[in-house]
Amino acid sequence: MKSILALLLVTTVSMGLVQTGTRQGKPNRDGQADLLNFIDSQAEHFGEVSRKIWEFAELGYKENRSADLLKSELRNAGFEIQDKVADIPTAFTATWGQGSPVIGLLGEYDALPGLSQDASTEKKPLVVGGSGHGCGHNLLGSASALAAIALKHFLTERKLGGTIRFYGTPAEEGGAGKVYMARAGAFSDCNAILAWHPGDQNYAGWRNSLATISAKFRFRGQAAHAAISPDQGRSALDAVALMNHAVELLREHVPESTRIHYVVTGGGSAPNIVPEFAEVYYQARHREMPVLDDIWKRIVKCAEAAALATETRMELEIISSSYNVLSNDTLNDLLDRNLRIVGGVRYSEDERLFAQKIRATLSTEGAPPSGSEAQIQTADTMRDTGSSDVGDVSWLVPTGHLWTATFVPGTPLHSWQSTACAGMSIGRKGLVVAAKTLALTAADLFLEPNKLEAARSDFKRRRAGNEYRSRIPPDRKPPLNYRDN
């Protein structure tokens, strides 16, 4: 009963804001109201879809049940499914309509390793060491699918032409699924792409994303008895340790906005055996890909030097690379306008108590205040310095981006707290805000072709003089097992 009342509250607030926006001159009053009503009628069902994907908690390129569930929903709604895009088992497109314009919606559904968590206010893994949706991708794919189906209803009711395409994009978390889909031409006929991501605030745009390159550095040495004949051994683990030390010293001499992370994914099997194999997984980021190229070359030199010093052999496998997001003012302004029509997230009393308990587990110094989930922020005030393979799409097609408050304000992504929120009603309310904003914005693009022309002009202006070239080698196949050690 409480969930029904909460849904009614969200519907009432949204409808009131739609009417206010219309009085201020927003176009297509009846169309907006009908579109929002349709989403409200499907919100509970797609909340259940997101919960199932949350329970599946499948890692990148392994999201078989999650992708199948979303394909089933879209197929049942009349969309035509193209499976195994770019030879990736869990990549797909779902298309409805014909002709121009072609408006795409991005959906993700991969989980993160080690973030299994109950939907509770205490740290409580459902599976110790298991995966979990600490980035809310269970919500992401579900909201975009709901928006696509709502748009089909909108275009059908108004007998409008054009094409809607949902992109099922796997392995965003370090697997670069969209890059391989782009390489296969999946986005080549799109006029515009709309994307969103779960967060702890509501705003449109992504001003400060970082380009990224990641790779596994593998060192191969010589095994020996660590006590009887250590002189005969050549430690691959020593090479990893030396590389890591060199990179730590390098941090002082790279641009301030650089980010470098690593995790040792293999270090030997027993302390009394000199490790003949060791592996370290690196990721580096910077706002500009050409600058990152130079930083990456220096990281590789650290690995080469470590191999030379330890008399081991180094192998390098590029796992992923994504560009920074190329912002598009026209699309982001439309998303911002419609987000303000929809409004933010309103907590029920139970959700407010849940949020209080979650915030008690966090360091909230400098964090957004309680209550900010109901407000709309501006992108210029946000520190959204993450990375995503949405960036590569944005360098190929005009792309708008949105964030909604699916997590309690102050909750960091990739935490047990964000996993908990993604599995309960707070996350699902943010899902509805995202679906409504995406659907309203796509409807604007179908109704106002001049907006697409303006978005294209923005895109050309920002791309001018800049090349797009993926740093993933052209012959590199999708790393379907990149999560395996």
pLDDT of residue 281: 97
Rounded distance between C-alpha atoms, residue 159 and residue 344, angstroms:
31
pLDDT for 346 equals 97
User: Cα separation of 454 and 100, whole Å?
Assistant: 16
SS3 per-residue string spanning the chain: CHHHHHHHHHHHHHHHHHHHHHHCCCCCHHHHHHHHHHHHHHHHHHHHHHHHHHHHCCCCCCCHHHHHHHHHHHHHCCCEEEECHHHCCCCEEEEEEECCCEEEEEECCCCECCCCCCCCCCCCCCCCCCCECCCCHHHHHHHHHHHHHHHHHHHHHHCCCEEEEEEECCCCCCCCHHHHHHHCCCCCCCCEEEEEEEECCCEECCCCCCEEEEEEEEEECECCECCCCHHHCECHHHHHHHHHHHHHHHHHHCCCCCEEEEEEEECCCCCCECCCEEEEEEEEEECCHHHHHHHHHHHHHHHHHHHHHHCCEEEEEEEEEECCCCCCHHHHHHHHHHHHHHCCCCCCHHHHHHHHHHHCCCCCCCCCCCCHHHCCCCHHHCCCCCCCCHHHHHCCCCEEEEEEECCCCCCCCCCHHHHHHHCCHHHHHHHHHHHHHHHHHHHHHHHCHHHHHHHHHHHHHHHCCCCCCCCCCCCCCCCCCCCCC
| Contacts with 246 (C-beta within 8 Å, 6 or more apart), sequence order | 302, 305, 306
Instruction: Give the start-to-end residue ranges of the domains of the chain.
Output: 2-209+324-463, 211-321
CB 149 within 8 A of CB 73: yes
CATH class of the domain at 211-321: alpha beta
Is the CB of residue 116 less than 8 Å from the CB of residue 129? yes
Residue 347: per-residue pLDDT: 98
pLDDT at 18: 32
pLDDT of residue 13: 37
The answer to whether 106 and 186 are in contact (CB under 8 A) is no
Q: What pLDDT does residue 4 have?
A: 36
pLDDT, one tens digit per residue, over 428-485 is 999 999 999 999 999 999 999 999 999 999 999 999 999 999 999 999 999 999 998 6
Q: Model pTM?
A: 0.90
Compute the residue count for the chain: 485
Question: Mean pLDDT for each consecutive 10-residue tract of the chain (485 residues)?
Answer: 38 34 41 93 98 98 98 98 98 97 98 98 97 98 98 96 98 96 97 98 89 97 97 98 98 95 96 98 96 98 98 96 96 97 97 97 90 93 82 97 97 97 98 98 96 98 94 94 86
What pLDDT does residue 241 have? 98
CATH of 2-209+324-463, one of 2.60.40.10, 1.10.10.10, 3.40.630.10, 3.40.50.720: 3.40.630.10
Residue of 319, 160, 303 lying closest to 241 (CA atoms):
303
Q: What is the mean pLDDT of the chain?
A: 92
